[in-house]
Amino acid sequence: MLPKYKRVVLKLSGESLIGNSVTGFEPFNPLIIEQYANDIKAINDIGVQVALVIGGGNIYRGANEIETGIERAHGDYMGMLATLINGMALQAMLEKNGVDTRLLSAIKMEQVAEPYIRRRAMRHLEKSRVVIFAAGTGNPYFTTDTAGSLRALEIKADVILKGTRVDGIYTADPEKDFSATRYETITYQECILKNLRVMDMTAFTLCMENNLPIIVFDMNKPGNLLKVIEGSNVGTLVN
C-alpha cells in the first residue's frame, strides 16, 4: 500500500520513553525506544521522510520553577539538554537497526549533534535519513510542541503525528472517565471551543493558521505508526 503522507514530523513526549516499567531512576525504557525505532524504520523503508521532535520531560521539565526553585529560563535550557539525551538514545537505536539518522540541535553542541539549518535538514530527508530535531526551538518559554509545529512548517511536512499513550482525542480524559468517546476527526475550532488540550496554544495556533493537520494516536502500540501512514482509521485527525 502506498503511504498517504510523504514527509511527516513525529512528535514524542519525553514521558512516553519511560513506558510502564519505570523504577523512578531510569530516564527511559530501552524496550520502548527499541519499539519506536522499529516502527520508524518500517515507515522509512517504504519511502516516508521522517523527522522527529522529542521532549525531555522524563529527565527534566523546565516549567517546574515553583517545585525546583530554578528560574524558568534556566530550567528551560536544562530541558533542552534533556531532549538531546533522548535524541541521542533514539539515534543510537535507529542506527543499530540500520537506519541512517542525523541529530540536529537548536543550540550548539558540535561534538554530538549538527547545528539546525533548515536547508540541511531538508536535504537529509531527501536522502531518506531520519532527522531528529533536539533542543526545542533553542529558546526558553517555548515547548517542544511548539518546536514540532515550527519545524513541521519549516520543512514543509504533510502532517504532525503526535504519538501519545492514548489512542486519540476523547470527549474527556479516558483514563478517568470510562464513558469518554474518541473523535475520529475534529476541527481546530472545535478543539478550542471544547477546551481539548491537543497541544499548547502556541503550537496549536501555528498549525491552525497554516492548515497543518495533526494526528493524535497511541505510539506505544507496535505497528500503529505504519497504520497512520497508510491512512487507516487510527487515532484522531485534527484539521
Q: Which amino acid is at 97?
A: N
Does position 239 have pLDDT exceeding 70, yes or no? yes
* Of residues 72, 76, 196, 54, the one with CA closest to residue 130: 54
Average pLDDT over residues 97-126: 97
Q: What is the mean pLDDT of residues 128-139?
A: 97
Residues 142-159: pLDDT tens digits? 999 999 999 999 999 999
Average pLDDT over residues 8-27: 76
Residue 59 to residue 47: CA distance in whole angstroms: 33
Are the C-beta atoms of 214 and 159 separated by less than 8 Å? yes
pLDDT tens digits, 72-94: 999 999 999 999 999 999 999 99
- How does residue 173 score in pLDDT terms, banded at 50, 70 and 90? confident
> How far, in Å, CA of 199 to CA of 215, rounded?
11
Query: Which CATH architecture does the domain made up of 7-238 adopt?
Result: 3-Layer(aba) Sandwich (3.40)
Looking at the chain, the whole-number percentage of residues with pLDDT higher than 70 is 96
- Evaluated on CA atoms 140, 59, 224, 94, the torsion sign reads positive
174-198 mean pLDDT: 90
How far apart (Å, rounded) are the C-alpha atoms in residues 85 and 50? 19
Q: What is the pLDDT of residues 19-48, one digit of tens each?
A: 765 455 567 788 999 999 999 999 999 999
